[in-house]
Structure 1
Amino acid sequence: MTSDKLKTPTIALGTWAWGDSGETGDGYFGSSLTQAGLEEVADKAHAAGFTLWDTAIVYGMGRSETMLGEVLKRYARSDYQLSTKFNPRIAGTSDTSMADMLEQSLANLGTDYIDLYWIHNPADV
């Protein structure tokens, strides 16, 4: 019998500044890399056994998720896990703000599911 339980790796590779070419991201890992450079990082990480990729909708206001989704297209979705975050500070006031933000993250990442969905900056939530 196989287990459907998520086996969370010990370490994740973060993508905070991926796709961020503005001054805010200058000097942070990934901010100056092209898509080809980020694909090289992904290839090396994949070869080394990294399987958990972490991002958030506020990282570059969606650019990190979008870039990560583009880079990971080269792998089968079953070969890696995705972690992204709901951010209440930018969510708006609708009754479906969490679902709306999740749908945007799914679209940005080009996937139909997220393995780990966190609350980012949960102060006052």
Structure 2
Amino acid sequence: MKKLTFNEVKDILVGCTILGTGGGGDLNKGLKMIKEDFENNLEYKLISLEEIEDEALFASPYFCGSIGEEGDKGNYSKYTKIKKSPAVVAVQALERHFQEELSGMVSIEYGGMNTAVAMSTAARLN
């Protein structure tokens, strides 16, 4: 297992943004997310394939959806805002469903934001 520094995670996100060719979300939002995590002393870790147990469960948290009009709140104002990260809440629901703690997170849509979502979710649940 390798503990990642802020600069290493930043480099990963920049690389994923380039390779994502426009998909995977806004790099600036991803950088803001990881900056907050590091300021809160959360740890980002990377494991090798050899470290994964055969029966380990992983999740692939990411954000998806179209971009709405600037300032458009739609009908969302009637819903209660989740105070935690929606990805963390979703993973916790999966863990309750499977009655098992997940072993980690995997990014499947590489980009500035969605790679950050997977990594941040893992750090927040660690």
Q: TM-score range by the shorter chain?
A: 0.3 to 0.5
More strand, by proportion:
1
* Structure of greater relative contact order (alpha carbons < 8 Å, 6+ residues apart): 2
What TM-score, normalized by structure 1, do the two folds share?
0.34
Q: Give the structure with the larger helix fraction.
A: 2
